[in-house]
Structure 1
Amino acid sequence: MNSHLDRLNPSILTRIVALVAATLLLALGAMMLVAFRGPPPHARPMFLPEAAQLLRGEAAPTAAAWSIARYHSDRAPLPDVGQEVDGHASTQIAGMLGVPTRDVRLLRERPPASMRDTPLPPQSDSARSALFRAFVVAQRTGDGWTVVQAWQGANLRWYGITLSLMAGIFILLLLPAYWVARRITQPIRRLAEGAATERPERAEPLPLTGPPEVRAVGAAYNHMRARIADYLSERTAMLVAIAHDLRTPMTRLSFRLEQLPDGPRAKAQADVEEMRAMVTTLLDFMREGADTAARVRIDLSAMVETLADDLSDMGQEVAVIRSDRAVVLGDVVALRRCIGNLVENAVRYGGAARIAIAVDGRQASVSVEDDGPGVPDTTIERLCEPFYRGEASRNRETGGVGLGLAIARNIADSHGGRLAFANRTEGGLRASVTLPMAR
């Protein structure tokens, strides 16, 4: 089965080699098309009869592709560097005009040095009568010489056609090359997006498509994701079992503490209650990671306003300063706990909390600000680590056990959102939960 797939789905190396080979073949074909089917790069030469017409003042058929200068001179033109007098052609033009040979002079470009000593074959009279690139022809008149200077310009039509063909061929080659390259890189891009997921154990397995190399990497990634999910499940089950089993000895310890005197008993009972709260919080933390609750449409602004009213009734200084209407998809209890943990953290360390709900495009954000001391920039990224507390002491009066923000982050992640913290320039901390809007 795999060998059949490999034949139908070649490797990346094979695809790239095939793409390069196809591009080279098309480019060679395009060059041959331009070379053999296009017009010549220069206009066709001018012949001796046309030069005679120019001396008569008539328009030659090919003169439109040449630049012509006609003037009168007191003496016969002399050859410049790279020119020579062509006596044979001068005699022919004189015969066409019906004047003596001495009254006509033709100056043409000198042939290359390698061809000067090479005798021309008899059948090359037509080649002798062709004038290329530039020439000067003159005829003696009564008071001097009539001189016609001609030089051949570039064939703009040839260049226009050639450049148009090259641009068209480039576009025709670019489009399929882009399509093939996109098909080659699409599985790699999908693999990169899957690997960049913050919670890979919750992501869907990658489809095993594309070239053999990409399928092998995708299979390895899926195997790694499954192992991470199994490891986290085992860890969660172990911690839940330990936390659950600790409740029984703590309950027995509470009964035995009743036999102690009042002073030591109160301190011991406080320690037991702190242990029980820690166990309960740990269980809640592990349950939030399970993410098994059904999702419904939630009016986020109404939920936050209700939460703020409940906390205000309990004597906490909580206020909603902005409330854009936002509807999200999620678990009401979990989201209420997520935002409640942020508000309680702000009240605990800042004395008060201000909540703002804003909508930006397809996302809703809930910001909780306080006027507390803030958090050092070096440790702000650790606030959501389990059991980490920004306040150094472990006193229950100044803070919890370090799981409140971790629970809030788990809830935000499970809803496709993000939890972030930032110190305010005017002092205090800002905690923001960003959630996707319900469609």
Structure 2
Amino acid sequence: MLPGAGEQGRYNPSILTRIVFLVAATLLLALGAMMLVAFRGPPPHARPMMLVEATGLLRGGTQPPGSWQISRYQSDRAPTADAGQESNRAGAERIAGLLGVPANAVALIQERPPIGMPRPGPEIGPQPDMGMEFDPGRMMLRGNFALAVREDGKNWSVLLGRQGPNWRWYAITLSLMAGIFILLLLPAYWVARRITQPIRLLAEGAARERPERAEPLPIGGPPEVRAMGIAYNHMRARIADYVSERTAMLVAIAHDLRTPMTRLSFRLEQLPDGPRAKAQADVQEMRAMVTDLLDFMREGTEGRQRARIDLSAIVETLADDLADMGHDVVVTASQRAVIEGDALALRRCIGNMVENAVRYGGSARVSLRVEGSRAIVDVVDSGPGVPPEILDRLCEPFYRGEASRNRETGGVGLGLSIARTIAEGHEGSIGFANRAEGGLRATVILPLDR
């Protein structure tokens, strides 16, 4: 198959190509949107003040146009130009004409315009009379200015103007940029999610604790992800075959051990009573170990029929049975929790947890509650607990928190392993924690039936 070619010859770009396309498309859309804002939006600067508007303010007007800020004061002399400022005589003459006062009775000081901007002043040469809009340099005030008029021949009425920021332009531009950002983010997120979805599925498949029991991953996506998916499915199949072969071998060995143990039991009948009792106890212990081993191996490999069951019925029936056998087992709380699973396997899972609590803690208090989409079974005992460093090892096969390995104080270390295998087979989990008031809390979490 050609690089980048998908099924039926359909072009399937690589992850690199998809990411480059996503970045390029996003940048082009962003640039286009910003050009639209720049060319179609309002001007970035506040509008200038017309000389006729300044004249109106001198005549007593109180509302400056746009974002202009105006202040007034009286002085005995006209304002003078400071550094960066200059006198606009042409504008002063125009205002004097509008006010009907002599030209020397009006002074106009403005900021010096930047290099390249038209300077205020009279036009050179004859110009047609096109009214106030003919000469923008003389008819507009930009930046800061000082305009003064002497009407009584002595005092000057000074008007100071300062051009404030164009908040309307800032508000409109920022709003448009925020809208453009959101409009670009949503499709970019959708495309990025489509690109990374096959990788996420591959990661979820690889994170499963029992990958050999999981369904093969769907093959799709970019060529790199397809190759990884195919390799993962091949690896999963090889692991499943390996586990199946080893499991079948161990089950066969454990099963075949029963025959010589049975013959050995018959031959022990010929021994005297003292040695015979000890030997029969050893054989019985070996038989129990073989039985536990067979159960452990079968729980991890055999598939059973599942149905909708009420977990509370299993918990209450199990507690009643153990209480009838003389064990201190009490159900302290129970809620209806319907799950899909194997009733016999779940009874064994919870039963192993309860029996472990009774064996090492002397009693068991069982509760069942529902939280969200999960059913949670807590089994609490009143024993001494276990050292914190071995909590994570309690479910390891053949590991026992009680290290004597005495059959009378415990099994061979497969009960909790079997419970964990059953819980994980139902997409659940098992955890342990020491209680502050003493004892051990064992928790089984199972998903509710949807």
Report the TM-score, using the length of structure 1 for normalisation: 0.88
Count of residues in Structure 1 that have an aligned counterpart in Structure 2: 438
Specify which of 80, 84, 87 is matched with residue 86 of structure 2: 84
Counterpart CA distance in 1 for 2:448 and 2:55 is 87
Counterpart CA distance in 2 for 1:325 and 1:100 is 100
Q: Is the 8 A contact 1:297 1:330 kept in 2?
A: yes
Counterpart position of 2:135: 126
Counterpart position of 2:148: 138
**Which residue identity lines up with residue 394 of structure 2 in the other structure?**
L
- The yes-or-no answer on 1:10 pairing with 2:13 is yes
Counterpart CA distance in 1 for 2:38 and 2:229 is 48
| Residue 15 of structure 1: how far off its partner (Å) | 1.8
Q: Secondary structure of 2:427's partner?
A: coil
Specify which of 345, 353, 363 is matched with residue 342 of structure 1: 353
**Which residue identity lines up with residue 141 of structure 1 in the other structure?**
E
Counterpart CA distance in 1 for 2:53 and 2:318 is 100
Counterpart position of 1:28: 31
Q: Is the 8 A contact 1:387 1:401 kept in 2?
A: yes
Q: Secondary structure of 1:198's partner?
A: coil
Counterpart position of 1:321: 332
User: CA 1:93–1:230 in 2, change beyond 3 Å: closer, same or farther?
Assistant: same
Equivalent residue runs for 1:7-406 within 5 Å: 8-48=11-51, 50-52=53-55, 54-55=57-58, 63=65, 66-95=68-97, 97=99, 99-112=101-114, 122=124, 126-129=135-138, 130-144=140-154, 145-406=156-417
Counterpart CA distance in 2 for 1:371 and 1:52 is 95
Counterpart CA distance in 2 for 1:303 and 1:96 is 101
| Residue 38 of structure 1: how far off its partner (Å) | 2.2
Percent sequence identity over matched residues? 70
Counterpart CA distance in 2 for 1:211 and 1:316 is 59
Counterpart position of 2:130: none
Q: Is the 8 A contact 2:93 2:106 kept in 1?
A: yes
User: CA 1:47–1:333 in 2, change beyond 3 Å: closer, same or farther?
Assistant: closer
| Residue 20 of structure 1: how far off its partner (Å) | 1.6
**Which residue identity lines up with residue 301 of structure 1 in the other structure?**
S
User: CA 1:23–1:266 in 2, change beyond 3 Å: closer, same or farther?
Assistant: same
| Residue 30 of structure 1: how far off its partner (Å) | 2.2
**Which residue identity lines up with residue 383 of structure 1 in the other structure?**
L
Report the TM-score, using the length of structure 2 for normalisation: 0.86
Counterpart CA distance in 1 for 2:328 and 2:160 is 100
Q: Secondary structure of 1:4's partner?
A: coil
**Which residue identity lines up with residue 427 of structure 1 in the other structure?**
G
Of 324-333 and 232-241, the range deviating more from structure 2: 324-333
User: CA 1:146–1:314 in 2, change beyond 3 Å: closer, same or farther?
Assistant: closer
Q: Secondary structure of 2:406's partner?
A: coil
User: CA 1:391–1:87 in 2, change beyond 3 Å: closer, same or farther?
Assistant: closer
Of 198-207 and 1-10, the range deviating more from structure 2: 1-10
**Which residue identity lines up with residue 266 of structure 1 in the other structure?**
A
**Which residue identity lines up with residue 16 of structure 2 in the other structure?**
L
| Residue 236 of structure 1: how far off its partner (Å) | 0.8
Counterpart position of 2:427: 416
Structure 1 unaligned spans of 5+: none
Counterpart CA distance in 2 for 1:202 and 1:267 is 43
User: CA 1:53–1:194 in 2, change beyond 3 Å: closer, same or farther?
Assistant: same
Q: Secondary structure of 2:107's partner?
A: strand
User: CA 1:271–1:120 in 2, change beyond 3 Å: closer, same or farther?
Assistant: farther
For residues 296-339 of structure 1, the C-alpha deviation after alignment (integer angstroms, 9 at most, x for no partner) is: 22232222322223223333333323232333322222222222
Of 344-353 and 271-280, the range deviating more from structure 2: 344-353
Q: Is the 8 A contact 1:291 1:414 kept in 2?
A: no
**Which residue identity lines up with residue 126 of structure 1 in the other structure?**
D
Counterpart CA distance in 2 for 1:373 and 1:54 is 91
Superposition CA RMSD, Å? 3.0
Q: Secondary structure of 2:407's partner?
A: coil
Q: Is the 8 A contact 2:395 2:417 kept in 1?
A: yes
Q: Secondary structure of 2:79's partner?
A: coil
Q: Is the 8 A contact 2:395 2:416 kept in 1?
A: yes
Counterpart CA distance in 2 for 1:198 and 1:112 is 72
| Residue 35 of structure 1: how far off its partner (Å) | 2.3
